[in-house]
A and B are shown apart, each in its own frame.
Chain A
Amino acid sequence: DQQVKQNSPSLSVQEGRISILNCDYTNSMFDYFLWYKKYPAEGPTFLISISSIKDKNEDGRFTVFLNKSAKHLSLHIVPSQPGDSAVYFCAAQPGNTPLVFGKGTRLSVIA
C-alpha cells in the first residue's frame, strides 16, 4: 500500500516556465514532508521541506505548498532551468520513523 504517491512518472517543461510536481499521501500522521532531487547514478540531495503546521515554504526558485485537507503537496520551480532536469522524490515522515518515499517524477527542462 503506497502511502506517498507521485502519479506523474515524467514531466516536460520549457526553460523559463514553471514546473509543478505533485505528491499525494494517505497517512494523516505524517508531520514533515521533503523533496529530494536525484541525478542518475548519484544519491538524492535534499531540496526543500515543509512542516505539517505550515502551508507554504519558499527557498529561492523552489516553493512547496501543502494542502492538509486534500493530503496533497506540490513543488513549484520558477523559472525552470535545464540544470533542474532530474528525478524528484517526494518523501514524508511520521514522527521519529524512517522517511517514506514516492516513486519519483522525472523532470525534463527543454531549452
Chain B
Amino acid sequence: DGGITQSPKYLFRKEGQNVTLSCEQNLNHDAMYWYRQDPGQGLRLIYYSQIVNDFQKGDIAEGYSVSREKKESFPLTVTSAQKNPTAFYLCASLAGGPNYGYTFGSGTRLTVV
C-alpha cells in the first residue's frame, strides 16, 4: 500500500534541543515538501526537494534543516534556533502532475515543554 509515513505522531521537545521528524514515501515521487500548520495560519512551506541531494528553502526555513540522501526519505530537523517550534508538521510528495496535487502524510504534532 503506497503512501507517506510520518513519525512520530506526537513529539515533545525540551527548550534548546534539536529534534528530527521522519518522512518516508514509497510512491516513487521525486519531489517532497515540508509544511507547518499553525492555528489560523494555513500551511506554510518550510523546505522542499525536487530531486535527491538537492533542496530549497521555503517561506519559513529559519531554524530548520533538511537532507535528501534517498528518494524515499526527507527528514526535517527542528533546531534550537527555531523560536516557536510548537506546531503541526506535514510532509508531502508530488504526484505525476499538478492536477493531482500533493499526497500528504498524517502529520507530526511537535510540542515544546
* Contact with B99, one of A42, A51, A89 (Cβ below 8 angstroms): A51
Contact A49 B104 (CB under 8 A): no
Q: Which residue of A lies closest to B9 (CB)?
A: A41
Q: Which of B42-50, B65-73, B79-87 is near enough to bind chain A?
A: B42-50
Chain A residues lying within 8 Å of B42, measured Cβ to Cβ, are 6, 89, 101-104
A100 and B106 alpha carbons, distance in the complex (Å): 19
Contact A9 B40 (CB under 8 A): yes
Q: Which of A14-22, A72-80, A91-99 is near enough to bind chain B?
A: A91-99
Contact B107 A46 (CB under 8 A): no
Chain B residues lying within 8 Å of A98, measured Cβ to Cβ, are 33, 45, 48, 58
* Contact with B43, one of A32, A89, A93 (Cβ below 8 angstroms): A89
In the complex, A65 has a CB within 8 A of chain B: no
In the complex, A43 has a CB within 8 A of chain B: yes
Chain B residues lying within 8 Å of A104, measured Cβ to Cβ, are 42
Contact B99 A32 (CB under 8 A): yes
Chain B residues lying within 8 Å of A44, measured Cβ to Cβ, are 43, 90, 102, 104
Contact B101 A36 (CB under 8 A): yes
In the complex, B105 has a CB within 8 A of chain A: yes
A103 and B104 alpha carbons, distance in the complex (Å): 17
Q: Which residue of A lies closest to B98 (CB)?
A: A32
A88 and B54 alpha carbons, distance in the complex (Å): 31
The chain B residues found within 8 Å of chain A, CB to CB, are 4, 6, 33, 35, 40-45, 48, 58, 88, 90, 92, 98-107, 109
15 contacts between A and B (CB under 8 A): A6-B42, A41-B106, A41-B109, A43-B6, A43-B105, A44-B43, A44-B90, A89-B42, A91-B101, A98-B45, A98-B48, A99-B101, A101-B42, A101-B43, A103-B42
